[in-house]
Amino acid sequence: MTDFVDKVRGIVGDRGLITDDAAKHPYLTDWRENYLGSALAVVRPATTTEVAAVVKLCAAQKVAIVPQGGNTGMAGGGTPHENGREIVLSLTRMKRILEVDAIGYSMTVEAGVVLKTIQEAASDNDRLFPLSLAAEGSCTIGGNLSTNAGGVQVLHYGNARQLVLGLEVVTPEGEIWNGLRALKKDNTGYDLRDLYLGAEGTLGIITKAVLKLWPKPKDHATSWSAVPSPDAAVELLSGAYAASQDNVTSCELMARQGIDLVLKHIPGAVDPLAERHDWYVLMEWSSTRARHEGTNAGGLREKMEAYLGEAMEKGLVLDAVLAQTEAQSQSLWALRENHSEAQKREGPSIKHDISVAVSKIPAFMTDGLAAMKKALPDCRPVPFGHVGDGNLHFNCQAPAGWDKARFAPHIEKISGAIYDLVVAYGGSISAEHGIGRIKVDELAHYRSKVELDTMRSLKRALDPQNIMNPGKVIQV
């Protein structure tokens, strides 16, 4: 394989190649530290042409490729297997913003651009790129599109799939498909773009994308409310659509257990309310209409205040704070966005990234918590998430003091109980994180034969040698 690595070096040069064990390590393990793989090399091409040449070489030598962006994925899809016969193909050197078309509300970028950089470029042009998630400082747009990422503004703007117009993709044969079309309408045969979105790198490598932009909001309101139950949370959201004149852009539900972990592990985190409550809702409204200042000052904040006041009278809200400044809004958001980090610092946990219809969230919460406790009475449920999309992170923290080895034998029973319940509720066992490596068996178990056969046929047709992220999403 020295010969293979030398040929790769011939394509990407020394700057594009990592073979040293210590330098490779961060690319061989996932954010959650569930997997530690091995790779012939970490290859970091600088252009689409280099990606295509590397893929052609891999196809000729039957070397499997694991595409990787910011390596923040939750499902192990970007981590190589342990056999050492794969390469990691990192897109992080392809980080140019190629065009911002403010008139046409689109932006063309390379796959390795960090999400936050894209948000900032949009904002600098008085536009919004609405994809937003806690990993936005390190995840890349290629990873976002390949996982069809969700995040905290899906209820208003949609998943990553809805935020993209065109793609450039390198196929498993090393061909370049230029689908970088900035078209809102294009009914010319099968939609190849949609195939690659959410494919988790198993069908090809996304090298560039044309993204959709929106007008930049000029007014925001953020509130943090203690609510008596998930029922009240769902009702609060339901009324907020009309009260805000359809300006609800985020609605996140959290249980006290998650807040306690954030307060324990994240320096500077502060509980904004004087008393403890069981459930919290973080709501963001935003509008392109600027607030009025001076006499008759007003905008979303006043509307939200009035709405929360009414909700309090109805008993839907027990206590609430409304951010008066951008800094206050950010510190409320930090309580929500630090849930994953706090859970990680607390110790082992299982993530159940599930969705059910929004109206079924309250009943699911009751049944799901009972099922989790029945499977392991000492476990610590940490449910939170994007309630406006029906997407809960129905996570389960190991009993206090347990390590991974002690917790591992219980995972199948706990997750099985939760996923069976999700399916009984007509929900999804992976709402936004994808399947990766961690849910390959679950996908095979919970999806119908016709769905699995169609997925396998697609994979075999597009990647006949099975070199593109093999063993992820679906076994062929």
* 351 interface partner picked from ligand MLT, ligand FAD, none, CB below 5 to 8 A per type: ligand MLT
Query: CB-wise, 303 or 352, nearer to ligand MLT?
Result: 352
* 90 interface partner picked from ligand FAD, ligand MLT, none, CB below 5 to 8 A per type: none
Phi/psi at 263 (nearest 5 deg)? -65, -35
Query: CB-wise, 144 or 286, nearer to ligand FAD?
Result: 144
* 435 interface partner picked from ligand MLT, ligand FAD, none, CB below 5 to 8 A per type: none
* 339 interface partner picked from ligand MLT, ligand FAD, none, CB below 5 to 8 A per type: ligand MLT
Q: How far apart are CA 45 and CA 55, in angstroms?
A: 11
Residues near ligand MLT (CB under 6 A) are 74, 134, 339-340, 351, 385, 393, 395
Site for ligand FAD in 338-357 (CB under 6 A): 340-341
Q: What is the DSSP letter of 292?
A: B
At closest approach, how far in Å is the CB of 32 from ligand FAD? Answer: 8
Question: What is the CB-side half-sphere exposure of residue 148 using CA atoms within 13 A?
Answer: 17
User: 139: left (phi > 0), else alpha (psi -120 to 50), else beta?
Assistant: beta
Cα 170 → chain centroid: 23
Residues contacting 94, CB < 8 A, separation 6+: 45, 46, 47, 48, 51, 110, 111, 112, 113, 142, 207
Residue of the chain from 17, 43, 74, 320 that contacts ligand FAD (CB under 6 A): 74
Q: How far apart are CA 354 and CA 260, in angstroms?
A: 22
Give DSSP secondary structure letters for 365-402.
HHHHHHHHHHH-TT-EEEEEEEGGGTEEEEEEEPPTT-
68 touches ligand FAD (CB under 6 A): yes
* 383 interface partner picked from ligand MLT, ligand FAD, none, CB below 5 to 8 A per type: none
At closest approach, how far in Å is the CB of 71 from ligand MLT? Answer: 15
Query: CB-wise, 202 or 222, nearer to ligand FAD?
Result: 202
CA-to-CA separations, 73 to 103, 134, 329, 437, in angstroms, rounded: 33, 12, 26, 11
At closest approach, how far in Å is the CB of 259 from ligand MLT? Answer: 14
Q: What is the 3-state secondary structure (H, E, C) of 11-52?
A: HHCHHHEECCHHHHHHHHECCCCCCECCCCEEECCCCHHHHH
| H/E run at residue 358 | none
Closest C-alpha among 418, 423, 470, 472 to residue 446: 423
CA angle 348, 82, 54 (to 5 degrees): 120
At closest approach, how far in Å is the CB of 472 from ligand MLT? Answer: 19
- What is the SS3 assignment for 356? coil
Outline where 170-229 has alpha helix (H): 192-196
Closest C-alpha among 366, 361, 350, 367 to residue 386: 361
At closest approach, how far in Å is the CB of 65 from ligand FAD? Answer: 9
430 touches ligand FAD (CB under 6 A): no
* 111 interface partner picked from ligand MLT, ligand FAD, none, CB below 5 to 8 A per type: ligand FAD
460 token code pair: 């075999």
At closest approach, how far in Å is the CB of 56 from ligand MLT? Answer: 36
* 48 interface partner picked from ligand MLT, ligand FAD, none, CB below 5 to 8 A per type: none
Site for ligand FAD in 106-145 (CB under 6 A): 111, 133-135, 139-140, 142-144
Query: CB-wise, 118 or 233, nearer to ligand FAD?
Result: 118
At closest approach, how far in Å is the CB of 75 from ligand FAD? Answer: 7
* Bridge-based pairing state of the strands 106-110 and 97-101: antiparallel
* 230 interface partner picked from ligand FAD, ligand MLT, none, CB below 5 to 8 A per type: none
At closest approach, how far in Å is the CB of 102 from ligand MLT? Answer: 30
Question: In the bound complex, which residue of the shown chain has the CB atom lying closest to ligand MLT?
Answer: 340
* 395 interface partner picked from ligand MLT, ligand FAD, none, CB below 5 to 8 A per type: ligand MLT
* Binding residues for ligand FAD (CB under 6 A): 31, 66-74, 77-78, 91, 111, 133-135, 139-140, 142-144, 146-147, 149-151, 200-201, 205-206, 340-341, 432-433, 436, 469, 472
